[in-house]
Structure 1
């Protein structure tokens, strides 16, 4: 067996073992603390809500462990099991041009992976989310969303795949710089187009018409020096009972979006505090910094791929005997996450640090108390566990644990 094959198998098994261990820690820790509300929330979150959040967290964690095992099996079947090689040979048998063959292999691989994941998506939506009172998606809406997502993938994916493969085959040794430039432009274009073109395909967006809230938001935006294309309410309740708020787009095409479920739960001053937190990300340029980091990582990744494409062991070590640009791309996208999984805590730590910075900004703008009240309601209504396992949280969580976050806000003293 090739050394790289052994290394790949070890990476898959190590990642699976770590995921299962972290999931078991989360389940045990949440269940152990199920019968007592943490002191910071005892006056605002009743025991039955805390227990509901614990049960929801445990349910999702158990199902997640099953997914991890299945995903590891799929990765091994695709690669060492000969799945990708068989798919490649099926397309080669059609005697199409290399560009069409490669595009066909790429898109069919993504479609097959989507079909493989479909039963898990159905179970999450119609069993777990329904069991805990969050799902509002009908089978018709679910099917329509799936159809739209598939069509979007084809409409966007076909020309992008053709262009990338053409550059990989025709631009010499520095093809990866050309692909990186195309990918960067594509990512920026997609971020710009998402709020105006893509998001409205799935949800309805209405201008915010609440008088008091709109005035509060307008004054906050003026203080922050933030300009956007509008403040919108999204019909999130059509699919889920979870509440949220977010910014989307960039440049002059920025939008502020509130879920209707959020506005039903929070008072105007609490919504203002949530928005101030999001503005904190804008003020600290977290989105821009994230884009810079991802752009740099994509450049490094493509440079690595350019080198790996020239190594015969990269293909044979992953179960492919006939090298090609498209197989190199597919193998890279499947193999890389197996080797970079251990970097997850680093990105999680960076995200939590940014959340603390955004909280501090919100405290300066609206005071800590409204944001504390808003977060407490969101923890309660979204059934977010108040007692995550510390190791699991440090590894995965993009936001600080609830108790630590509230303690941090209270210490700001505003």
Structure 2
């Protein structure tokens, strides 16, 4: 067996085994604490709500187990199973220009993967979310969303992919630097365009109508030195009962967005505290720091890909005979998550640290107890488990576990 094949299969087995072990720990821990509300939440979360959150977590975890198996099968089918070669043979047989052929190979593979995973998405939406009272998406809305997402991927992704493949073909040995710069510029452009050009295709955004709440938010923005293009309420309830708030955009095109479900469930003090938390990410420059981190990791990835594209063993070891820039890029996209899983705890740790910093900022701008009240309501209404396994959380949680986060904020009351 090729050394690269052995390395790939070993990494896949280890990473998959690790994820399976972590999932088992999570399920066991949640199940063990299902019938006991943690002391910190006993007066604010009923046993019934706590059990619902546990059951919801377990149901999603079971589907994730199936998803991992499906993902492994898809990955092996496209690589060692010859799927990429079969798709490449079809596109090569049409005699199209090389870049067009390359774009076709990559997009066909990615769309086929999405199609194979579609049953899982349907089950998540119409069985699990429906069972726990969160789904408000109709089959028609699901189909429209899927068509829009696919259409946007083709309209936006195909030209970007063609440009990157052209750079790979024509820019010489240092093509990866130019390709990286193009991708980062594209990411920034999309961050700027998303609030006004893309998001409205999926949801309706209306200016916040509550004059009292709007005045409080504007005063908070003034104190924080945050300038936005408006405060909007999104019709999130059209698809889901989950609630959230965020600010989106880049540069001068920033917007503050509340889900209508959140506006309906929190009072003014709590909404202001939630927004103060989101503004904490802005004031502590978390978005820029994450962007810089992403840029460095992406640059390293492109540098690695720049080396791998010229190595026969890279293609052969992953079961691909069709050696081209398109198949190299595709292989890298498919295989790199197998190895990057080991970086998850580092990324998750940084994200959780940022959440603590944003909480601290919110406590300094409003009152910590209002944020505590808001978070407890959101935990309860979103059926978020209060008792995750610590090791699972270390790998997968971008936010601190509920008990730790509430304890951190309670110390500031």
Question: How high is the TM-score relative to the length of structure 2?
Answer: 0.99
**1:176-204 CA-partner distances (Å, limit 9, x unpaired):** 11111111111111110000000000000
What is the rounded CA distance, in whole Å, between the counterparts of 1:258 and 1:232 in structure 2?
Answer: 6
What is the rounded CA distance, in whole Å, between the counterparts of 2:388 and 2:162 in structure 1?
Answer: 45
Q: How far 1:235 sits from its partner (Å)?
A: 0.1
What is the rounded CA distance, in whole Å, between the counterparts of 1:358 and 1:117 in structure 2?
Answer: 35
Q: How far 1:163 sits from its partner (Å)?
A: 0.7
- Please say if 1:270 is aligned against 2:256: no
Q: How far 1:367 sits from its partner (Å)?
A: 1.2
**1:313-334 CA-partner distances (Å, limit 9, x unpaired):** 0000000113100000000111
**1:74-126 CA-partner distances (Å, limit 9, x unpaired):** 11111001111111111111111111110111111111111011111100000
Match of 2:383 in 1: 383
**1:371-391 CA-partner distances (Å, limit 9, x unpaired):** 000000000000000000111
Match of 1:56 in 2: 56
Counterparts of 1:151-162 in structure 2, within 5 Å, are 151-162=151-162
Match of 1:150 in 2: 150
What is the rounded CA distance, in whole Å, between the counterparts of 1:161 and 1:258 in structure 2?
Answer: 34
Match of 1:180 in 2: 180
Tell which deviates more after alignment, 49-58 or 9-18: 9-18
Q: Give the CA RMSD over aligned residues.
A: 0.7
Consecutive unaligned residues of structure 2, counting only runs of 5 or more, are none
Match of 1:317 in 2: 317
- Secondary structure (helix, strand or coil) at the match of 1:253 reads coil
Tell which deviates more after alignment, 158-167 or 278-287: 158-167
Q: How far 1:15 sits from its partner (Å)?
A: 1.2
What is the rounded CA distance, in whole Å, between the counterparts of 2:290 and 2:192 in structure 1?
Answer: 16
Q: How far 1:14 sits from its partner (Å)?
A: 1.0
**1:358-404 CA-partner distances (Å, limit 9, x unpaired):** 00000001011000000000000000000001111111100001011
Q: Is the 8 A contact 2:70 2:117 kept in 1?
A: no
Aligned positions, number: 413
Counterparts of 1:100-179 in structure 2, within 5 Å, are 100-179=100-179
Structure 1 runs (4+) deviating above 6 angstroms are none
Counterparts of 1:10-89 in structure 2, within 5 Å, are 10-89=10-89
Match of 2:295 in 1: 295
Match of 2:198 in 1: 198
- Secondary structure (helix, strand or coil) at the match of 1:412 reads coil
What is the rounded CA distance, in whole Å, between the counterparts of 1:102 and 1:95 in structure 2?
Answer: 12
Match of 2:349 in 1: 349
- Secondary structure (helix, strand or coil) at the match of 1:323 reads coil
What is the rounded CA distance, in whole Å, between the counterparts of 1:311 and 1:106 in structure 2?
Answer: 20
What is the rounded CA distance, in whole Å, between the counterparts of 1:15 and 1:68 in structure 2?
Answer: 11
**1:327-354 CA-partner distances (Å, limit 9, x unpaired):** 0000011111111111101000000000
Consecutive unaligned residues of structure 1, counting only runs of 5 or more, are none
Q: Is the 8 A contact 1:19 1:65 kept in 2?
A: no
